[in-house]
Amino acid sequence: MFKRIKYNSCYFMYTKYSTRVEIDASLRDSFESQEYKPRRHPGRTTVKTATIPEQIQNAIKIILHDTGAKSLHQESLKLRNYIQSRQLPPEEGEIEEKAAKIHNSVSRRYFSKIKTELTQEELETHNKQVQSSVFNILKKNVYRWGNIMYDQPTSLQYLMVRAAPEYAVLLRILDEIKRRLPDYKPRSFFDFGSGIGTGTWAVNSMWPKEIYEYFTVDTSTHMNDLARLILCQGRDNVEMPFKAYFQRQFLPASADITYSIVLSAFTLFEMPNMKSRLETIQKLWNKTEDFLIIVEEGSNAGFQIVNEAREFVINSEQGDKGYAFAPCPNDAVCPRYLEHKTPCNFLMKFETLNFPSKTEVQANLFSYVILRKGDRPTDDPQWPRIVRAPIVRSGHTICRLCTAQGELKEIIFSKGKHDQTTYRCARSSNWGDLLPVK
């Protein structure tokens, strides 16, 4: 049985779950002994609202003050809005296909009004008018994609509006690894499209003093200079805190050296087509020792890029095998992608920089996938993921879940039909959490 759900003006289908649902049996004793409490069950994220570390904030303030970046504030807001609304570049043949459809439609409408036979000269005139109409319609319906050129002013604008949300999102994602694998200690980190260095901040916050090598790649020399300056407390004469910190403008071709964690965050939009994106994903996967993390905006286009990378790695017959560590509890085709109506995204709260105005708490939508090398462990519980904000009502809570079977399901947890622990765990969970039920 299916239920049609409306969310943000979009409809999507959930299976109504009518079978028995209860806390994972392996956790029952832990809840009874109060090692775990429903409000802090093991599926809940520990990062609720993120704030950039004070030392990094101080460095950013020094840089923005010294460069007179306050005058760039309005332009930075335009840059933020543009980044959040970006679409994918059209693929080869896509524009020609659209043009042909529009031409056929315009021609039918245009020539259906003509009742008399046209001379050759009149026919050429009418064809020119049709072509002009097709061009004007096409211009309005085709997204004009282009690379963002990060010169010094644009890099500073990016720093002002993107530092806080990017750091928060990456901290939330890395928390997934830290929480589920508390004994895991990454030894090296590779950041592709490193920008202002938010990946380095987040990894160092999650595993302080554990990373022995940081390797970052960004085509913009201004971004690289800015990232290094931030780590040096905003001063040119301060020593770099990491001994093994390397910056490059281009992705190294060799796959001989691998890294514990490889990251591509908010970067793949700069690729001109799907072919170049997948070639890049393959190179990054070859450099991955443990985890490859892909992060993009939580828009339809951002989710498409993330899902594209997920499907490519999981289904690839070349190189090492991998599986979806998070957010997916399965390696099946994403049910959200099949619906083509709403992206699989999550919400992260963050504190803005108090420059040029006061600190505020805002939220950012993001899509991501963590891909892990190897086969999925046999003891992976594959708990369902909560993919929309739970609806909490008096006496019951509605959770929308992505399950280990690769299905979207809606479960209504109530006091009458579920035991207290199961009910309270569901009621205490948030969008993006795993729900420890079977």
Q: Which of the given ranges, 6-15, 100-109, 123-132, 327-336, has the highest pLDDT on average?
A: 327-336
Position 174 pLDDT exceeds 80: yes
pLDDT at residue 127 in the model:
74
Mean pLDDT of 81-103: 81
Is the full-model pTM beyond 0.85? yes
pLDDT at residue 1 in the model:
47
Q: How far is CA 353 from each of CA 162, 188, 225, 359, 378, rounded to the nearest angstrom?
A: 10, 29, 20, 6, 44
Whole-number average pLDDT of the chain = 90
pLDDT at residue 253 in the model:
79
The whole-angstrom distance between residue 26's C-alpha and the CA centroid of its chain comes to 32
| Mutual angle of helices 300-315 and 274-286, in 10-degree steps | 50
Share in percent of the chain as helix, strand, coil (round to 5) = 40, 20, 40
C-alpha neighbours within 13 Å on the C-beta side of residue 24: 18
Distance CA 264, CA 217 (A): 10
Distance CA 393, CA 407 (A): 24
pLDDT at residue 7 in the model:
45
pLDDT at residue 17 in the model:
46
Mean pLDDT of 41-65: 96
pLDDT at residue 12 in the model:
47
The residue among 164, 172, 168, 162 whose CA lies nearest residue 193 is 162
pLDDT in tens, 345-354: 999 999 999 8
Please say whether the beta carbons of 368 and 295 come within 8 A: yes
Position 122 pLDDT exceeds 70: no
pLDDT band at 257 (very low <50, low <70, confident <90, very high): very high
Please say whether the beta carbons of 189 and 259 come within 8 A: yes
Position 30 pLDDT exceeds 70: yes
Position 9 pLDDT exceeds 50: no
Least confident of 5-14, 118-127, 162-171, 284-293: 5-14
pLDDT at residue 138 in the model:
61
Complete DSSP assignment for 3-46: EEEEETTEEEEEEE--S---B-GGGHHHHHTTSS-GGG-TTS-S
pLDDT band at 18 (very low <50, low <70, confident <90, very high): low
Q: What is the b/e burial string over 116-153, where b = at least 16 CB atoms within 10 angstroms of the residue's CB? A: eeeeeeeeeeeeeebeebbeebeeeeeeeeeeeebeeb
Which is more confident, 83 or 94? 83
pLDDT band at 318 (very low <50, low <70, confident <90, very high): confident
Percent of the chain residues past pLDDT 70, beyond the cut? 89
pLDDT at residue 337 in the model:
81
**Three-state secondary-structure class, residue 353:** coil
